[in-house]
Amino acid sequence: MGISGAKVRSAVGKVRGGVHVQHHKNTADQPIVRLPAPDKVVIPMQMHIGAPCAPIVNVGDTVAVGQCIGDTTAFVSAPIHASISGTVTAVGETTLANGAVTRAVTIESDGQMRLFEGLEAPKIDTREEFLAAIRASGLVGLGGAGFPTHVKLAFKPGTVDTLVVNAAECEPFITVDNRECIENSWDVLSGIQIIKEILDIPRVVIAVERNKPKAIEILSSIARQVEKHKGEISVMQLKSIYPQGAEKIMIYSATGRRVPAGKLPSDVGCLVMNVASVAFVARYVKAGKPLVSRSLTVDGSAICVPQNVRVPIGMSVGEIIDHCGGFKATPYKIITGGPMMGSILAFSKEDSLKKETDCINCGRCAAACPMHLQANSIARIVKTGDVDALVRAGTNVCMECGSCAFSCPAGRPLVQHMRLAKSMIREAAKANGK
Amino acid sequence: MVNDRLLTASASPHVRTRDTTRGIMLDVLIALVPALVASVVLFGFRALAVTAVSVCSCVVFEFLSRKAMRRPNTIGDLSAAVTGMILAFNLPSTIPFWMVVFGALIAIVVVKQMFGGIGQNFVNPALLARIVLMVSFPKAMLASWATPFAWRDSSVDAVTSATPLSILKSGDATMPSLLSMCFSKAGCLGEVCAAALVLGGVYLVVRRVISPVIPLCFVGTVGVCMLAYGFAKGENAFSFAAYELLSGGLLLGAIFMATDYATSPISIKGKIIFAVGCGLITSLIRLFGNMNEGVSFSIVLMNILVPHIDRLTVPKPFGMEKEKKEKKAEVKAS
């Protein structure tokens, strides 16, 4: 690495399978640009698999940035905050990227981005206070799935010995985690220290894919400066292979432990957090400003000025794209998330997909699967409708990373088959009254 | 912004590999070219003609049978052309053309399309066609080999009944030198130049079309068996084994036919079992059977076992392994 004494560890577990996808990290050197406040935001009351929130504001209310606008008593959820200041103009419904319809609060901007007055740094002395503060911050995992962070952190004390900070960012194009490591490296480090101390986790591994040398360099140089936790926080360099950042794969790479099917990371003593979530924890503990924005990479061959942007939650994709210079070519698809696992927001003519042809039994799907499944035979079992065989084949450990379909020369929609297989298992379980 | 023509949604992933079935088949065709060139050098344009007839008739049969079954036309994936090329490589250059066409009919219509087309055949189409031709026309298939280079030199007997493998077995004549065995010998079109076959195999491995597991295990098993036999007999075991490896269709079979996707196992473990099985059966037939060559039969027999091998070698899904392995990983991690 060229830095004296900087020790970057390499992976403990060797991932079998995975695919080499072109990285397209075109925006890796572009600082995150904060976009000006939009005229209007539509904030959905459900943005993760947990319970939806109920709006607690009414049409006509004046709200400020960071003010709570939706909450629930359900455990697996997190409150939602206004991302701009202005007036609530509607409490209605909106359609999410996955097609689900959910309630949403529309706020029209007063152009001031006025901060809510009640915001202050939380008082944190105990584990319980910390978890309550994280819940109040509205933090959900910023890696993609958006799982409420306070739920993840509420493991039984003493069961987790390793915090894995996930900065793999294995999806093509996306570079915001890389930017987070470079631009807010001290936030990352102090976030780590806060979580480590309050939750009493002895060991921390910051795992970065090898294609982000700058992030690795910066993180490892500042990790060495943390005298207090000398030797307990390390930076690990992982092979750039998709899906390195998937939770179970990440744990295996970083610790050599395998999370058994149907179990959680805490069952093998691990906690995995996205690097941007960790940095947010540090900022929240310091200033008390809830989660109201996130960073995005806007890229693709149809985008005029690909770049990294920080946007208020609820801003329309069309406006974000306009800020990136709009389209320079007719887009075929607008994808939210990465190209491997993301879902389609809008689409037009479909030319990027191959025509599906017959399976030639080449076995590339099986070789690519990081969970060691044989997608071609599972697809075959789907046709027979044998649910027991589907369960035995391990269908439920599939995380839909798309490595199988990516590598299929016959262009078969294998992820779709896997989803179908899983829903068959779910339905059979329901029919059995389980 | 959104063009409303031809709307189609699709599941993730939204990027795909550039590899296609056609590309893979094209790679196999390219890998077969060195051996084709070698056979034309050795046997003259008759070799090229047999190959052309075989490829053309395979493609035509593929087209006609798909048409008759009212299924989409698949000649564009080039798999029929590959079958045609491999079938030709399994035939003597002296074979009458109509027999070639008959072989193509067996391979494409009977073995491939009647079982559902590409990926569905349970044995290698070209190999089964070769076996059908062998039992139907033993004289044409097994006793009239063109002598290498005879097409350019009229003073040599144009046709011989001896291949190195038959000489090895009967001991009737002297063997050619090992060096010449690497480049030319009497035999089927495609099997006569070991160097060209290995070159094609290396190309396929480099292009990641095939994994080297099957060819290496297959040839390795035959090598070990032949060495053991040689030692037991008290002969010069190494030269005996070397002749065995370079003779007959072993390299052609191990590199191009045993690696056929549809008829070989998916997992590495399965591939090893399959290839070792092929090697054992080949050795048994060559050493103790009354035929000179056993490669075709060994591959076809093992092809039939592939579904069972596949079922026995399904890898354990991640997180569903036995506890023993987990403990090992744990020890390593700490």
Return the structure tokens found at B266.
Answer: 């998916």
pLDDT at B332 over 70: no
pLDDT at A414 over 90: yes
Report the pLDDT value the prediction gives residue A1, as an integer from 0 to 100.
Answer: 38
Minimal Cα–Cα distance from B301 to chain A, Å? 19
Report the pLDDT value the prediction gives residue B164, as an integer from 0 to 100.
Answer: 80
Is A260 near chain B, with CB under 8 Å?
A: yes
Q: Which domains does chain A have, with CATH numbers?
A: 8-31+121-287 (3.40.50.11540), 36-109 (2.40.50), 364-431 (no CATH)
- Maximal C-alpha separation, chain B: 81
Tell me the per-residue pLDDT of B129-179, one tens digit each, with 9 for 90 and over: 999 999 999 988 887 787 787 777 766 666 776 788 777 777 767 777 887
Q: Give the residue from chain A lying closest to B333, CA to CA.
A: A256
**Over chain B, what HEC string results?**
CCCCCCECCCCCCCCCCCCCHHHHHHHHHHHHHHHHHHHHHHHCHHHHHHHHHHHHHHHHHHHHHHHHCCCCCCHHHCHHHHHHHHHHHCCCCCCCHHHHHHHHHHHHHHHHHHHCCCCCCCCCHHHHHHHHHHHHCHHHHHCCEECCCCCCCCCCCCEECCCHHHHHHHCCCCCCCHHHHHHCCCCCHHHCCHHHHHHHHHHHHHCCCCCCHHHHHHHHHHHHHHHHHHHHHCCCHHHHHHHHHHCCCHHHHHHHHCCCHHHCCCCHHHHHHHHHHHHHHHHHHHHHCCCCCCHHHHHHHHHHHHHHHHHHCCCCCCCCCCHHHHHHHHHHHC
Between A155 and A96, name the one with better pLDDT: A155
Is A95 near chain B, with CB under 8 Å?
A: no
Tell me the per-residue pLDDT of A66-108, one tens digit each, with 9 for 90 and over: 999 999 999 999 999 999 999 999 999 998 877 789 999 999 9
Tell me the per-residue pLDDT of A312-346, one tens digit each, with 9 for 90 and over: 999 999 899 999 999 998 887 888 888 898 877 77
Is A336 near chain B, with CB under 8 Å?
A: no
User: Helix, strand, coil % (nearest 5) of chain A?
Assistant: 30, 20, 50
Contact criterion met (CB < 8 Å) for B14 and A346: no
Minimal Cα–Cα distance from A369 to chain B, Å? 9
Contact criterion met (CB < 8 Å) for B16 and A259: no
Contact criterion met (CB < 8 Å) for A413 and B11: yes
Tell me the per-residue pLDDT of B62-115, one tens digit each, with 9 for 90 and over: 999 999 999 999 999 999 999 999 999 999 999 999 999 999 999 999 999 999
Give just the sign of the alpha carbon dihedral B35, B39, B45, B47: negative
Minimal Cα–Cα distance from B89 to chain A, Å? 22
pLDDT at A293 over 90: yes
**Pairing assessment for the beta strands A307-312 and A33-34 based on DSSP bridges:** parallel
Minimal Cα–Cα distance from B199 to chain A, Å? 22
- Output the average pLDDT for chain B: 88
Residue-by-residue DSSP string for A279-296: HHHHHHHHH-----EEEE
H or E element at residue A235: strand A233-238
Is A318 near chain B, with CB under 8 Å?
A: yes
Contact criterion met (CB < 8 Å) for B21 and A410: yes
**Over A154-183, what HEC string results?**
CCCCCCCCEEEEEECCCCCCCCHHHHHHHH
Tell me the per-residue pLDDT of B173-227, one tens digit each, with 9 for 90 and over: 777 788 778 887 788 888 889 999 999 999 999 999 999 999 999 999 999 999 9
- Cβ-contact A331, A302 below 8 angstroms: yes
- Report the percentage of chain B scoring pLDDT > 70: 90
Q: Which residues in chain A have Cβ-Cβ distances shorter than 8 Å to B320?
A: 260-261, 394, 397
Is A407 near chain B, with CB under 8 Å?
A: yes
Q: Give the residue from chain A lying closest to B74, CA to CA.
A: A357
Among residues A341, A329, A343, A23, which one has the least CA distance to residue A174?
A23
Between B318 and B164, name the one with better pLDDT: B318
Report the pLDDT value the prediction gives residue B185, as an integer from 0 to 100.
Answer: 79
Task: Name the residue facing A261 among B120, B267, B319 (closest C-beta).
Answer: B319
Q: Which residues in chain A have Cβ-Cβ distances shorter than 8 Å to B9?
A: 344, 347
Instruction: Identify from B1, B8, B12, B18 which residue to disrupt to test chain A contact, counting A C-beta atoms within 10 A and taking the largest count.
Output: B12
Q: Which residues in chain B have Cβ-Cβ distances shorter than 8 Å to A397?
A: 317-320
**Pairing assessment for the beta strands A293-298 and A203-209 based on DSSP bridges:** unpaired
Interface of A with B in 130-189 (CB under 8 A): 172
Task: Name the residue facing B16 among A371, A411, A419 (closest C-beta).
Answer: A411
Contact criterion met (CB < 8 Å) for B8 and A350: yes
Report the pLDDT value the prediction gives residue B5, as an integer from 0 to 100.
Answer: 43
Is A20 near chain B, with CB under 8 Å?
A: no
pLDDT at B119 over 60: yes
Tell me the per-residue pLDDT of A371-411, one tens digit each, with 9 for 90 and over: 999 999 999 999 999 999 999 999 999 999 999 999 999 99
Q: Using 50, 70 and 90 to split pLDDT, how confident is the model at A353?
A: low
Interface of A with B in 37-56 (CB under 8 A): none
pLDDT at B327 over 70: no
Tell me the per-residue pLDDT of A45-58, one tens digit each, with 9 for 90 and over: 998 888 999 999 99
Among residues A433, A377, A434, which one has the least CA distance to residue A404?
A377
pLDDT at A352 over 70: no
Which has the minimum average pLDDT: A156-160, B186-190, B285-289?
B186-190
